[in-house]
Structure 1
Amino acid sequence: MIIEVLLLVIFLFLAFSAFVGYKMVKPPRLIGDWTPKDLGFDYEDITFETEDGLKLSGWWIPNGSDKTVIPLHGYTASRWYELYMKPTVEFLLKEGYNVLVFDFRAHGKSEGKYTTVGDKEIADVRAAVKWLKENHPEEARRIALVGFSMGAMLTIRSLAEIEEVCCGVADSPPMDLDKTGARGLKYFAGLPEWLHVFVKPFTKLFSGGKEVNPIEYADKVKKPLLLIAGEKDPLVTVEEVREFYERNKAINPDVELWVTDAPHVRTLKLHPEEWKEKVLNFLTRHLK
């Protein structure tokens, strides 16, 4: 009888872990109702296809420039996210840049059943850059990325892996997915961090993704990079971002670190003018 109860408890625990893993790689889709038209800019609804056959949805917002910036949203967000995506798009447009913004796989209106939180999403960025270069080569002579959280991870990866991307801003980039994933269970779901070791195998099983740790790119990125870290971030510690910075600056003279007092991806919200000044200064210098 005791063995049967024990087996039932184990089964229920594993079933719960599987359920949590499934929910973690299949976030709810955020679809809003604002468009660049509400910001005073004409735009085009676009669709482009990734190398693994997914159709991604986005906006192309021309602005009469030969420089284009691609904002990259975080996990569970989309191009409509009003905390940082809307103000970033508006800021970039008002500063005269063209903007291409899209929803990562399994987010917003893009295809895809599961997110891999930084693994297969590199194909999404590559597809966006390819679409831009093929359809608007004159407007894409210089391409920059501004990423938040998961999007910041992809910014770092892109600087190492996508030739056409010349520089990037990484706001609140996770550096170690085991640590951030465990904290994320508590942050997103209110569950204990120790549960992550049991949930992690199921996230990989469902999504088919590999674990990506941006800290490993500290020895690969040699393009201009602005890192933004918040002292009150519950998902990513300043020490983890600083470790990347210290390693990267040994090979990259154009890496910068800005530490603020903000929680995760909230520097723009709490210090909007300072954030815009820092990012604009960075982009102006490196998108020449």
Structure 2
Amino acid sequence: MFGNMISNMMVKPGQSPLFDSPEAHGLDYENIEFQAEDGTTLRGWLIKGGEDKVIVQSHFGVQCNRGGWTPKGHGPITPWKEDIQFLRQAKHFVEEGYSFLMYDLRGHGESDLGPTPWVSWGPEEAKDVLAAVDFATERFPQASIGLLSICMGAASTTYAYGRENGLTNRTQIKAMVAVQPLLYTCFIDALGMPGFLARAGERVSNERLGFDMSEPNFIDNAAQVSVPTMVVQNQNDPWTKMDMVQEYFDALKVEKELKMLDIEKSRFAAYNWVGTHSAEVRSWFDRFM
């Protein structure tokens, strides 16, 4: 019983119904649909701006989707009290001449489940990042592409750089912003969950996914990231370990910047910061795109 409950918290899909829309923000957009290499259908929005610069956003996992995160349906105890609207950053980028591609990772929002119908924390979702970049490339063959990759999105993107015929071969990508990349094992340790509960959950999750969740490590692929990368991290985030973030940053072999935020003691504060300080995010992309 405990194992299923803990595993559901970590890997159960479908916990992120779409709650926002581009119309609510006055944005011109198109509903889009494309497939990953394993046939999984992914859905999203293409927010229309300029033709020469495109941002591909990959969201954080489990309780998120392309539109962001909402506390609705999560009861009185939530990590953040207000909607985190990712369309805020989309609006900012579009006003500055970018187009902005927002899509749901498999098992999130309106995208289909993959052949492995659970959230893998990056190894499976890496296929979705590749598909989204390929869609953007086909739509905008002359454009520079920037990757805005948030938490599990950052892990997935880094795994995608390590794949055969991965993102290193997508030469239109010019820059990345990785917001709070997080290893599963680091998250579990930071939560302070009793060992017997963590082990019970891991046994169920490992059986569901078909691999040991403690083994994949996207930091092993960080050296293969081939574009300038800014890593953003809230130094007051209680759900991570700063040594892990530093290890990821140190493993990057490209032009890079570590932007440490001193904001509210919540992991979600940095997710919200992206929308309230979009110009600071955009300034990194402006340098290279």
TM-score normalised by L of structure 2: 0.81
Q: How does 1:63-142 map to 2 (within 5 A)?
A: 63-75=49-61, 76-81=63-68, 82-83=83-84, 85-112=86-113, 113-138=117-142, 141-142=143-144
Inter-partner Cα distance in structure 1 for 2:139 and 2:250: 38
1:95–1:159 CA distance, 2 compared to 1 (3 A): farther
Residues 48 and 100 of structure 2 are in contact (CA less than 8 Å); yes or no, is this contact kept in structure 1?
yes
User: Which residue of structure 1 lines up, in the alignment, with residue 220 of structure 2?
Assistant: 216
Letter in 2 for 1:183: A
How far does residue 283 in structure 1 lie from its aligned partner after superposition?
Answer: 0.4
Aligned to 1:35: 21
In the superposition, relative to structure 1, how do residues 233 and 67 fare at CA in structure 2: closer, same or farther (>3 Å)? same
Higher helix share goes to which structure?
Answer: 1
Q: Distance in 2 between matches of 1:128 and 1:264?
A: 26
Aligned to 2:231: 227
1:105 deviates by: 0.6
Q: Quick check: 1:241 aligned with 2:245?
A: yes
**Distance in 2 (alpha carbons) for counterparts of 1:151 and 1:193:** 27
Q: Which residue of 1 aligns with 2:72?
A: none
Classify the secondary structure of the residue corresponding to 1:114. coil
The 3 A distance-change label for structure 1 pair 134 and 114 is: same
260-269 vs 163-172, which moves further:
260-269
Distance 1:158 1:132 in 2: 16
Aligned to 1:183: 190
- AA aligned opposite 2:134: K
Aligned equivalents of 1:38, 1:269: Cα separation in 2? 18
CA deviations on 1:181-216 (whole Å, 9 max, x unpaired) are 3435x6xxxx53652233223212213356432221
Which whole-Å CA distance do the structure 1 matches of 2:138 and 2:110 have between them?
Answer: 22
1:59 aligned to which of 38, 45, 53: 45
For residues 118 and 169 of structure 1, the distance between their equivalents in structure 2, rounded to whole angstroms, comes to 17
What residue number does 1:267 align with?
A: 270
**Partners of 1:103 and 1:220 in 2: CA distance:** 25
1:199-214 matches, within 5 Å, as 199-208=201-210, 211=213, 212-214=216-218
Deviation at 1:120, TM superposition (A): 0.4
Aligned-pair CA distance for 1:247:
3.3
Describe the SS at the equivalent of 1:266. Answer: helix
CA deviation string 1:93-151 (max 9, x = no partner)? 2222101111111110111032111110011111112222223424xx21111122111
SS of residue paired to 2:84? coil
Question: How much has 1:154 moved relative to structure 2?
Answer: 2.3
Q: Which amino acid aligns with 1:66?
A: D
Match of 2:174 in 1: 166
**Relative contact order, CA 8 A, sep 6+: which one is greater?**
2
| Corresponding letter in the other structure for 2:20 | W
Structure 2 residue runs of 5 or longer lacking an equivalent are 69-82
- Partner Cα separation in structure 2 for residue 30 and residue 97 of structure 1: 27
What is the CA–CA distance in structure 2 between the aligned matches of 1:54 and 1:247, rounded to whole Å? 31
SS in 2 for 1:17: helix
The residue type equivalent to 1:54 in the other structure is T
Query: Any conservation in 2 of the 1:45–1:60 contact (CA below 8 Å)?
Result: yes
Identity of aligned residues (%): 26
- Residue 137 of structure 1: SS of its match in structure 2? coil
Quick one: structure 1 residues 142 and 219, their matched pair in 2 at CA, closer, same or farther if it must change by over 3 Å? same
2:231 and 2:102 mapped to 1: Cα distance?
Answer: 20
1:6 alignment counterpart: none
1:123–1:226: structure 2 CA closer, same or farther, 3 Å change rule? Answer: same
The answer for unaligned runs of 5 or more in structure 1 is: 1-14
Contact kept, 8 Å, 2:50 with 2:97, in 1: the verdict is: yes
Quote the RMSD (CA, aligned, Å). 2.4
